[in-house]
Amino acid sequence: MIGTGSRLAPGKLARTCVPEAALFLFAQGCLVPQSVDELNTRPHSIPRVDLTKLPVYLLQPVLTLDPQEQADLTSTPTCHCQLDVSIPEIIADDPTVDIEVRIFVDYDVNVTASQPPIDRIRLDGSFTRTETFRQLQPIVLDSSKLRGVGLHVVELVIGERQGFALTDVSPPQRAMLPDFESSTFKFVVQVLQPNPARQSCSDPPQLAPQVKSCP
């Protein structure tokens, strides 16, 4: 039994609890407002070509393409030669993001006709995969895509898909949004003139990555 003179008497409990409750409420009223917005602190990745996996032919200064010779024109079906360029892997540090590879030929910021990519390749991310690389299928380049005889610069611009800016932002078709970065991989192709000494574009020596196609 608690006596009236005890330290735990009800009257004293009431007198000690009221100030504590008031202090608690006062303290609650002084809290600094906090944002409840979700913070995205993940740094954006810079996808890039894995240079250690490149085929030997991409280490040479220029690739050559003999697009078509007389026997290819008269064959049934008509045949031609093309380059099947293998860039096996793209490094992507974040396996969840979607990657886009845009391929340009002779890109010139001052020549509008050169700015649209000849191809766009999407490499989807995954929340169930942990690998930090993406497989890239061979890039097919024929004389039409390379815009005819001559020396041509092929560029791969690689970035997070959501990071590409609108196509009219400079440099057109390849600009990135703030906080995003892309990487670029280039190689040079020489498209040859027809050679009367050759019957077919597949006559030896046929150097990689050139292959004959007869659709």
Tokens 């006709």: give the residue. Answer: 113
Please give the residue range of the domain that contains residue 100. Answer: 48-213
Q: How confident is the prediction for the chain on average, in pLDDT?
A: 86
- pLDDT, tens digit (0-9, with 9 covering 90-100), for 150-203: 999 999 999 999 999 999 999 999 999 999 999 999 999 999 999 999 999 999
Flag whether the pTM goes above 0.95: no
Question: In this model, does residue 14 exceed pLDDT 70?
Answer: no
Nearest to 179 by CA among 87, 83, 43, 85: 43
Let me know if residue 164 belongs to a domain.
Answer: yes
Let me know if residue 33 belongs to a domain.
Answer: no
Let me know if residue 14 belongs to a domain.
Answer: no
Q: Count the domains in the chain.
A: 1
Instruction: Return all residues near 194 (Cβ < 8 A) that are at least 6 apart.
Output: 68, 69, 70
Let me know if residue 70 belongs to a domain.
Answer: yes
DSSP secondary structure, 71-83, as one string:
HHHHSSS--EEEE
Q: What is the pLDDT of residue 20?
A: 53
Q: What is the pLDDT of residue 123?
A: 97
Let me know if residue 130 belongs to a domain.
Answer: yes
Answer yes or no: are the C-beta atoms of 122 and 68 closer than 8 Å.
Answer: no
Q: What is the pLDDT of residue 118?
A: 98
Instruction: Return all residues near 144 (Cβ < 8 A) that are at least 6 apart.
Output: none
- pLDDT, tens digit (0-9, with 9 covering 90-100), for 106-163: 999 999 999 999 999 999 999 999 999 999 999 999 999 999 999 999 999 999 999 9
Let me know if residue 18 belongs to a domain.
Answer: no
Q: What is the pLDDT of residue 44?
A: 83
- pLDDT, tens digit (0-9, with 9 covering 90-100), for 31-64: 444 443 333 545 788 999 999 999 999 999 999 9
Let me know if residue 4 belongs to a domain.
Answer: no
